[in-house]
Amino acid sequence: MSYRNLELDSEFVISLKRQDDKAFETLFHACAGFVFSIAMGLLGRRSAAEDAVQEIFFKAYKALPEFKGEKLSPWLGKIAHNHCIDLLRQTKREVPTAVTPVEDLNLSQSNSVSEELPDFINALSVSEREVVILKKVEGLSYKEISQLTGKKEGTLRNIVLKSLQFLREKVDES
């Protein structure tokens, strides 16, 4: 079951708010990939993202009694986003990302581009990488990304447009 389907099930949400272990396990299995994508996009290293996913779900479990019954993905995504931003502030560094939205660059699958693309993506700011990954890899709407990041939808569209334009230019130069 996908996390988007879980949001429509009111009985499931009630079970979650009661901190039902079975419901939380279902949430974890349905949303782990989504949370991992956010963590990977912000943190850039697989091991750091995997650790963050565990911490994020622990925070989510503790926050369930305060869950207001809104959509699950923005709520969980916001917890993931805030946790990863806190981790970045603690380490005060940007790390390269391994996620590459190649399909939106209309590229041939040349080896040199494949090898250089992570470096090009790393040239984006953490905020730009996060927005591009949430939109192009996770497939979230601008409204959903706005709820996660607190940025206006128009700003997000601009970030995606300029980031993809930047990546295309870098690829064309190589």
Domains of the chain, by residue range, sit at 3-91, 102-173
pLDDT at residue 8 in the model: 54
Cα angle, residue 88 at apex, residues 152 and 3 outer, rounded to 5°: 60
- Using CA atoms, how far apart are residues 131 and 101, in angstroms rounded to an integer? 12
- Using CA atoms, how far apart are residues 123 and 150, in angstroms rounded to an integer? 23
For the record, the structure tokens of 153 come out as 């939808």
Q: In CATH, which of 1.10.3470.10, 3.40.50.720, 1.20.1260.10, 1.10.10.10 is domain 102-173?
A: 1.10.10.10
Residue with tokens 């939106």: 104
Residue 30 is classified by DSSP as: H
Fold of 3-91: Rna Polymerase Sigma Factor; Chain: A (1.10.1740)
Q: Which parts of the chain fold into alpha helices (H)?
A: 3-6, 10-17, 21-43, 46-63, 72-91, 111-122, 126-132, 142-149, 153-173
The answer, as to whether pTM is greater than 0.85, is no
- What radius of gyration do the chain's Cα atoms show? 17
Q: Is there a contact between 104 and 63 (Cβ–Cβ < 8 Å)?
A: no
Cα torsion angle, 60, 65, 66, 70, sign = positive
Question: 137 — phi, psi (to 5°)?
Answer: -95, -50
pLDDT at residue 14 in the model: 84
pLDDT at residue 100 in the model: 46
Would you write out the chain's pLDDT as a tens digit for each of its 174 residues?
A: 555 555 556 788 888 888 889 989 998 998 999 999 899 888 888 899 999 999 999 999 999 888 887 778 888 989 999 999 899 888 765 444 444 444 445 444 455 556 677 778 778 888 898 898 888 877 888 998 898 888 999 999 999 999 999 988 888 887
